[in-house]
Structure 1
Amino acid sequence: MARATLSSKPTRIQAEKTALIMEAALKVFSDYGFRGATLDQIADEAGVSKPNLLYYFASKDDIHRRLLERLLDTWLEPLRQLNADGEPVEEITGYIRRKLEMSRDYPQESRLFANEILRGAPHVSETLAGQLRALVDEKTAIITGWAETGKIAPVDARHLIFSIWAATQHYADFDTQVRAVLGPDAENRFEDATAFLVSFYTRGLLPEG
């Protein structure tokens, strides 16, 4: 049986089966990483046979690459929304809120991305050096401009963005640890994290006086 290709428009059944396999693969990759995941695990999770899976995808690598391609556009959207015409502190703390929402709503996707970076980003290195770098450069220029005109405190804009990534994605990538430490308070972890981080960054960003 010939493998389904992207050159022809898929039928409704093909589109549904492709989506089912990709959702199963997302869970398996986020749980086991790329090296630990197998096609058999993905097929079992999707409830399809391995030959049927290989009708839709050429290999494990093919599934992983397509998952990352789908993820990256969503992943960059919160930073794209940072608006040069907005109030600076509100724009930056709004970005923090959006990143925490991503960690809450897309924990598997966050772990998928983290695992890819830990592997040396073989599937997304061009995007990181191209699209992501260009976007960070654009937003860095905006934040630097705010600092230079006294609208926020002096700040290294790139490292500000890196720190936001680290602080917010921690709640997805290390959720098990966060819940273990918080115990009974874990239920409200994202609301509490949002309140803390917004307050913390606001104090650091406000210019003196």
Structure 2
Amino acid sequence: MPDDTPVKAPSRIQLRNRRRILDAALDVFAEHGYRGATLDQIAEAAGLSKPNILYYFAGKEEIHVTLLNQLMETWLDPLVEMDAGGEPLDEILAYVQRKLDMARDLPRESRLFANEILQGAPRMAPHLKADLKPLFDEKCHVIQRWIDAGKLAPIDPRHLIFAIWATTQHYADFGAQIRVLLDTDQPAPGADPFLRTLFTNLLAPTVR
């Protein structure tokens, strides 16, 4: 017979501890990558014992997968917001700005994602295929329609999106280098006008 015993909702303390563990793990994974991170490091960062960590999660991989699952929707949102009915150049520049804002506001999440991809996406591959790939194809088709209509310069939409990712996420993934080279603690200083000018010049249609 099926077990009809109601599942007890987690208490406020349990929810708080899960958030505490995940936030600490985000720091550890962002700094050390999946392979370099350990449960001992996560426990120390969370201020909890290792057995306490294992009460909430089966192990390091479950914590990592939970973080990646939470991240994916956030990661896709800036591209989802690109409006096929909007003004093409404005939509592209707004996407660049959203990605740059994300690099500023979510640097740990950016490094978590980058580390996973650099390792061959062993845990995120299903999301890339099921979620990112259809969205990427859809927005490439939108950009291509804008190009075909003469509203943007003729470029490859796929590599345009790659270039936007590279130029915006760089400020999060290589933040330590940026701070040394620019002698500042500010994230992405001066990047907004530079990237706006860069992509405006790249995408402005040629007047015939």
TM-score for both structures, normalised by structure 1: 0.93
| Distance (whole Å) between structure 1 residues aligned to residue 187 and residue 43 of structure 2 | 34
- The amino acid that maps onto 1:78 is P
Determine the structure 2 residue equivalent to 1:73.
73
**Does the CA-based 8 Å contact 2:30-2:112 persist in structure 1?**
yes
Q: 1:41 to 1:175 in 2, by over 3 A?
A: same
- Identity among equivalent pairs (%): 53
Determine the structure 2 residue equivalent to 1:64.
64
**Does the CA-based 8 Å contact 2:76-2:132 persist in structure 1?**
yes
Determine the structure 2 residue equivalent to 1:195.
193
**Does the CA-based 8 Å contact 2:179-2:186 persist in structure 1?**
no
| Distance (whole Å) between structure 1 residues aligned to residue 9 and residue 122 of structure 2 | 29
| Distance (whole Å) between structure 2 residues aligned to residue 98 and residue 191 of structure 1 | 15
Alignment pair present for 1:165 and 2:165? yes
Q: How many Å apart are 1:9 and its aligned residue?
A: 2.5
Determine the structure 2 residue equivalent to 1:204.
202
- The amino acid that maps onto 1:202 is T
Q: How does 1:103-114 map to 2 (within 5 A)?
A: 103-114=103-114
| Distance (whole Å) between structure 2 residues aligned to residue 61 and residue 190 of structure 1 | 32
SS in structure 2 opposite 1:190?
Answer: coil
Q: Where do 5+ consecutive residues of structure 2 fail to align?
A: 1-6
CA RMSD of aligned residues (A): 1.1
Alignment pair present for 1:84 and 2:105? no
**Does the CA-based 8 Å contact 2:104-2:187 persist in structure 1?**
no
Q: 1:8 to 1:126 in 2, by over 3 A?
A: farther
**Does the CA-based 8 Å contact 2:26-2:112 persist in structure 1?**
yes
Deviation by residue 1:95-129 (Cα, 9 ceiling, x = unmatched): 00000000000001100000000111011101112
Q: How many Å apart are 1:8 and its aligned residue?
A: 4.6
- The amino acid that maps onto 1:64 is H
SS in structure 2 opposite 1:58?
Answer: coil
Moved over 4 A (4+): none
- The amino acid that maps onto 2:204 is L
- The amino acid that maps onto 1:9 is A
- The amino acid that maps onto 1:100 is L
Q: How many Å apart are 1:179 and its aligned residue?
A: 1.3
| Distance (whole Å) between structure 2 residues aligned to residue 8 and residue 166 of structure 1 | 45
- The amino acid that maps onto 2:77 is E
Determine the structure 1 residue equivalent to 2:127.
127
Q: Where do 5+ consecutive residues of structure 1 fail to align?
A: 1-6
Which one has a larger percent helix, Structure 1 or Structure 2?
1
